[in-house]
Amino acid sequence: MSNLFATKSIGTLLEQTTDDKNSLKRTLSRWNLISLGIGAIIGAGIFVLTGQAAASYAGPAVVLSFVVAGIACAFAGLCYAEFASMIPIAGSAYTYAYATLGEFIAWIIGWDLILEYLFGASTVAVGWSGYIVSFFKDFGIIIPASISNAPFYYNAATGDWSTTGAFINFPAVFIVAVVTTLLVVGIKESANFNNIIVLIKVIVILLFIGFGMNYVSSDNLTPFIPMNTGEFGHYGWSGIFRAAGVIFFAYIGFDAVSTAAQESKNPQKDMPWAILGSLMICTVIYILVGLVMTGIVSYTKLSDPAPVAVAVNAAGDGMAWLRLPIKIGAIAGLSSVILVMLMGQPRIFFSMSRDGLLPQSFGKVHPKFKTPYITTIITGGIAMIVSGLFPIGILGELVSIGTLLAFVLVCAGILVLRYKRPEIHRPFKTPLFPLIPILGVLSSLGVMATLPRDTWFRLIIWMAIGIVIYFSYSRFNSKINNSKG
């Protein structure tokens, strides 16, 4: 049983990066990493969830909800930054757990991260499909519902499944296939593509903020915090915190930067900048978008799948020219999220394979492109199936709870390692220790507590499957256990 919690020395972890034959190529600059972070964060959240949170829970005070959610993410971000600078190799939270909490916990978090990255990419691909269908419709090109919707529907209120009559969500499958191919070809090429689409969506968002400010009405922002209806979470201060839990999904992705640590030119210095920098930039953008959106149109009218478009339409002819760019920005934004999610998952599989917890073939690097091509293809293939068959709602809840569990374990890992191994060189240290890691654990658990009971049930089932795989395969093939005889 002691081997279940055997830790891997940081020295051994770092030695893996010197294997020229099976090492990843260090090509990413600080700005590439920051761009990856922004690319992962700005997506479905800003284009969809902002309006729903304002309309249902917080009103114009959704701006404060973004501040609350951003602070909660900052706690975890600071812990990720310390780990990423200290252990700059692929694998993200999985690798950090292996160095601090032991192999079994590392397996648990590696299995859990599939919910964040693989299912996250599938979720956003479904959202991308909706925007691209709408985009083509503006030009008179109709994509039939039978090949642009999931064949299955889940009713969250009743817990019942039903069929929709559709065959497959082909646009979602298509974008996953394109991004997977790009990621196999090379990380540098993928990063350059990401830089372009991140630039497009940021420009569109800044245009909305800049021109939209001219149409903000103080009447729409009054009262800034609508009076509570008498029910917890429906406006008032409780609504601000409820909205913060809802829009937490909008921040998911900043931790994906850490999965690219082994491909960073200077990870010790650049990883903290990238993680915290992208988180800070996106928080400011979210606050400004929330302020302008609720200032242009009453929050009561923002319960729409495309709230930014609602605000643009409400502004009248003066902003009519921005309608098409908004859709282009949304498509670009969702594309970059898919890219970063599909980039992160294979690198976690790559690290798990190196440790013997997954088949050895998962650790192969393409001889020409120097990318983990087998795990990239496997990840893309599964994501194509999931995004083609299942609805966005059920996928999104799984992504949220999987990510929050990862945050809890990373923050706990910082607490453990600071006390167990205080002598380790830390290029970046989480400030206000132990307060920040403790707040990171508590805030993530608090947000998890707001998620539906069915989501917790699915998490338990998913983890049970992972534990069966560990005890039937991974434990017996673990390199660290075999090395101990």
Q: Does position 484 have pLDDT exceeding 60, yes or no? A: no
Residue 432 per-residue DSSP state: S
Average pLDDT (140-168) is 81
Rounded distance, CA 260 to CA 248, Å?
Answer: 23
- Coil/strand/helix, residue 15: helix
* Band of residue 217 on the pLDDT scale cut at 50, 70, 90: very high
* Phi-psi sector, 91: left (phi>0), alpha (psi -120 to 50), beta: left
pLDDT tens-place string over residues 125-137? 887 888 788 788 8
Window from 11-15, 65-69, 320-324 with minimum mean pLDDT: 11-15
Report the pLDDT value the prediction gives residue 382, as an integer from 0 to 100: 93
* Band of residue 124 on the pLDDT scale cut at 50, 70, 90: confident
Report the pLDDT value the prediction gives residue 392, as an integer from 0 to 100: 67
Report the pLDDT value the prediction gives residue 19, as an integer from 0 to 100: 55
- Let me know the angle formed at the C-alpha of 288 by 224 and 438, rounded to the nearest 5 degrees: 85
Which one, of 438, 378, 398, lies nearest residue 414 by Cα? 438
Q: Does position 176 have pLDDT exceeding 60, yes or no? A: yes
Crossing angle of helices 392-420 and 453-469, rounded to 10°: 60
Report the pLDDT value the prediction gives residue 292, as an integer from 0 to 100: 94
Say if residues 347 and 22 touch (Cβ distance below 8 Å). Answer: no
Report the pLDDT value the prediction gives residue 24, as an integer from 0 to 100: 62
Report the pLDDT value the prediction gives residue 16, as an integer from 0 to 100: 61
Say if residues 251 and 70 touch (Cβ distance below 8 Å). Answer: yes
What are the b/e assignments for 29-67, b being 16+ CB within 10 Å?
Answer: ebebbbbbbbbbbbbbbbbbbbbbbbbbbbbbbbbbbbb
Q: What percent of the chain has pLDDT over 90?
A: 23
Q: Does position 216 have pLDDT exceeding 60, yes or no? A: yes
pLDDT tens-place string over residues 358-371? 998 888 888 887 78
Report the pLDDT value the prediction gives residue 14, as an integer from 0 to 100: 66
Phi then psi dihedrals of residue 153, to 5 deg: -130, 140
Report the pLDDT value the prediction gives residue 458, as an integer from 0 to 100: 86
**Measuring CA to CA, how many Å separate 116 from each of 172, 308, 338, 411?**
17, 26, 12, 17
The listed CATH number (3.60.10.10, 3.40.1350.10, 1.20.1740.10, 3.20.20.220) that belongs to domain 2-16+25-483:
1.20.1740.10
Q: What is the pTM of this model?
A: 0.79
Report the pLDDT value the prediction gives residue 23, as an integer from 0 to 100: 60
Rounded distance, CA 19 to CA 350, Å?
Answer: 14
Average pLDDT (222-244) is 86
Report the pLDDT value the prediction gives residue 175, as an integer from 0 to 100: 95
Residue that has been written with the tokens 């003066």 in this structure: 318
DSSP H/E element including 183: helix 170-185
| E strands present in 147-275 | 152-155, 160-163
Q: Which residues contact 348 (CB under 8 A, 6 or more apart)?
A: 90, 91, 92, 94, 110, 113, 114, 117, 259
Window from 38-42, 295-299, 356-360, 408-412 with minimum mean pLDDT: 38-42
| 440, two tokens | 């990171």
State the virtual CA torsion across 269, 272, 274, 276 in degrees, nearest 10: -150
| 338, two tokens | 């898919």
Which one, of 39, 54, 445, 458, lies nearest residue 247 by Cα? 54
Rounded distance, CA 220 to CA 296, Å?
Answer: 7
The rounded mean pLDDT for the chain is: 83
Average pLDDT (311-318) is 85
The highest-confidence range among 199-208, 288-297, 348-357, by mean pLDDT, is 288-297
Report the pLDDT value the prediction gives residue 91, as an integer from 0 to 100: 54
Q: Up-side HSE of residue 380: CA atoms within 13 Å toward CB?
A: 20
Q: Does position 269 have pLDDT exceeding 90, yes or no? A: no
Task: Pick the more confident residue, 307 or 227.
Answer: 227
Report the pLDDT value the prediction gives residue 90, as an integer from 0 to 100: 59
Average pLDDT (289-295) is 93
Report the pLDDT value the prediction gives residue 48, as an integer from 0 to 100: 67
Q: Does position 44 have pLDDT exceeding 80, yes or no? A: no
Report the pLDDT value the prediction gives residue 18, as an integer from 0 to 100: 57
Bridging pattern class, strands 152-155 and 160-163: antiparallel
Q: Does position 394 have pLDDT exceeding 60, yes or no? A: yes
Window from 78-87, 99-108, 187-196, 310-319 with minimum mean pLDDT: 187-196
Would you say the C-alpha torsion 461, 465, 471, 475 has a positive or negative sign? Answer: negative
Rounded distance, CA 164 to CA 152, Å?
Answer: 6
Average pLDDT (214-222) is 91
Q: Up-side HSE of residue 453: CA atoms within 13 Å toward CB?
A: 3
| 107, two tokens | 């397996």
Report the pLDDT value the prediction gives residue 157, as an integer from 0 to 100: 56
Extract long-range pairs of 144-150: CB within 8 Å, 24+ residues apart: 150/126, 150/388, 150/389, 150/390, 150/391, 150/392
Report the pLDDT value the prediction gives residue 115, as an integer from 0 to 100: 82
Q: Delimit the domains of the chain by residue range.
A: 2-16+25-483
